[in-house]
Amino acid sequence: MQNTTASPDTDTGNETHYTAFRCPLDLFEKAKIKAKADRRSLASYLIKLLDVDTKDVTLPPATPAKKSKS
């Protein structure tokens, strides 16, 4: 499992996660070209792609975290 850090997104109130992942170089270069043509940052463009691809997915309800015994 990869380490991620979370911070609140002040525009939407959603939590954002910073993470790294491996990507084939040719796809990475193509995404950079498309992002530039769309006048977006690469991160913003990738988020747009993920959002479009996952619109029909519903997240399960959040479960409260269990308190650990001290």
Residue partners of 18: CB distance under 8 A and separation at least 6? 4, 5, 6, 7
User: CB of 37 within 8 A of CB of 45?
Assistant: no
User: Cα separation of 39 and 37, whole Å?
Assistant: 5
Q: What is the pLDDT of residues 21-56, one digit of tens each?
A: 899 999 999 999 999 999 999 999 999 999 999 999
Cα atoms found within 13 Å of the Cα of residue 20, Cβ hemisphere only: 2
pTM here?
A: 0.63
Residue 60 has pLDDT above 60, yes or no: yes
In the DSSP assignment, the letter for residue 46 is H
pLDDT at site 18 = 85
Residue 5 has pLDDT above 70, yes or no: no
- Segments in 3-41 forming alpha helices (H): 25-37
